[in-house]
Structure formats: structure tokens, C-alpha cells
Amino acid sequence: MNLTVTGRNFEITDAIKKFLTKRIAKTGDRLYDNASIHFSFYVDKNRHMAEATVKQKDLTTRAKDETRDLYLTVDNVLGKIEKQLRKHKSRTQNLLINKT
């Protein structure tokens, strides 16, 4: 898994990177080993915005969110990504079941 983190008007600290890797490890069972994850953080006054792009061999998912708390924003974005991955997995399983 390849993780890239960027920030605009914001410095990415080690604590943020550690939080991201720990939180992404929970969704690791739905990701392929060669998945590429890119996080972008933006700060504008009291608004913390995060955008994530996950690229896998057959799927690219994107999500973004905005709140006043950075860690809550990260949780919301990863929740949206997890939901998309679960939906894709169930669709592919249903297609395989219907073909047989």
C-alpha cells in the first residue's frame, strides 16, 4: 500500500500520519496490496477539508468532507471510502453469483 499525504496552508505532522496509517489499517482487508492512497488536506480559517483518492487495479474511489475538526474529517472521509469499497465488493460478488 502506497500512502501519500499533502497539505495546503497546513503542515502535515507525524501525529497526523500515524493517525492515518492506523485508521487505514482497519480498512486494509478491503484494499489490495498494491493500492495507492492519496490524502489532501486543506485548511481555511475554521474549516478543515480532506480529500482522499484510492486507486486499485480495477477501481478508483474518491471522497471528500469538511468539518471543524481535522480528525473527524479524516474519519468521515475514510468512512465514505469504506462504504464505496463494500458496495463495490457486494456488486462484484452478486455478479459472480448470478453468472453461475
Over the stretch 13-54, which tens digit does the pLDDT of each residue have? 999 999 998 888 877 666 767 888 899 999 988 899 999 999
- Rounded Cα–Cα distance for residues 4 and 1 (Å): 10
Query: How far is it, in rounded angstroms, from Cα 47 to Cα 29?
Result: 31
pLDDT band at 91 (very low <50, low <70, confident <90, very high): confident
We find that the CATH architecture of domain 2-99 is 2-Layer Sandwich (3.30)
| Contact by Cβ (8 Å): 36, 30 | no
Q: Express each pLDDT in 57-69 by its tens digit.
A: 888 999 999 999 9
Give pLDDT, residue 5.
Answer: 93
Domain boundaries, the chain: 2-99
Cα distances (angstroms) measured from residue 91 to each of 6, 66, 87: 32, 29, 6
Task: State the pTM of this model.
Answer: 0.85
